[in-house]
């Protein structure tokens, strides 16, 4: 029995790059990287890869100058998350929450989860006795 069949992950390396578009300080990038790593390093998740882009608007009058776009491939699911906030820390927290929710939704979505346990009798299911 291999590790694949036992349900354990062989690779724990997460290949997600967090990068900045524009003027973004290193502290904001490090905080966002920590939040993304916290979501993706949960046990039982398939390997992930992709990119998170963080941008700060140049206009000072913008209500929410910080924005982030995450495009990840987790297992065989493609996950895209957008977030906008007023500060870099709020943005990272919002990104973490949305990323966790979208990943769980994408990973638990499958054809078997949507099917009923038994088809109705008129669709060649067993008749009730």
Query: pLDDT tens digit string along 93-112?
Result: 999 999 999 988 887 775 45
Q: What is the pLDDT confidence band of residue 26, given thresholds at 50, 70 and 90?
A: very high
Give the span between the Cα atoms of 8 and 6, in whole angstroms. 6
Q: To which residue do tokens 């916290």 refer?
A: 38
Q: Report which of 97, 51, 105 is spatially closest to residue 73, judged by C-alpha positions.
A: 51
Q: What is the CATH number of the domain that holds 57?
A: 3.30.160.100
Q: What is the pLDDT confidence band of residue 11, given thresholds at 50, 70 and 90?
A: very low
Q: What does the pLDDT average to over 76-88?
A: 93
Give the span between the Cα atoms of 51 and 101, in whole angstroms. 17
In sequence order, what E strands does 2-116 have?
Answer: 15-21, 48-56, 66-74, 77-85
Q: What does the pLDDT average to over 48-76?
A: 90
Domain assignment present for residue 119? The answer is: no
Which DSSP category does 55 fall into? E
Domain count along the chain = 1
Sign, CA torsion 55/56/57/61: positive
Domain assignment present for residue 69? The answer is: yes
Domain assignment present for residue 115? The answer is: no
Residue 3 has pLDDT above 50, yes or no: no
Task: Please name every residue paired with 74 in a beta bridge, in sequence order, or none if there are none.
Answer: 48, 77
Domain assignment present for residue 121? The answer is: no
Domain assignment present for residue 117? The answer is: no
Helix (H) or strand (E) holding 102: helix 88-108
For residue 108, the model assigns a pLDDT of 79
For residue 128, the model assigns a pLDDT of 57
Q: Tell which wins on pLDDT, 8 or 106.
A: 106
For residue 5, the model assigns a pLDDT of 37
Could you tell me the residue range of the domain that residue 37 belongs to? 3-108
Domain assignment present for residue 82? The answer is: yes
């Amino acid at each position: 029995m291999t590790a694949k069949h036992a349900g354990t992950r062989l690779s724990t390396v997460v290949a997600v790059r967090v990068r900045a578009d524009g003027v973004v300080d290193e502290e904001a990038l490090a905080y966002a990287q920590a939040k993304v790593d916290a979501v993706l390093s949960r046990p039982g998740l398939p390997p992930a890869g992709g990119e998170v882009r963080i941008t700060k608007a140049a206009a000072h009058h913008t209500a929410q100058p910080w924005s982030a776009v995450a495009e990840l491939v987790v297992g065989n699911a493609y996950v895209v998350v957008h977030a906008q906030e007023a500060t870099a820390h709020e943005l990272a927290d919002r990104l973490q929450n949305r990323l966790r929710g979208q990943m769980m939704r994408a990973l638990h979505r499958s054809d078997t989860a949507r099917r009923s346990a038994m088809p109705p009798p008129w669709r060649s299911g067993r008749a009730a006795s």
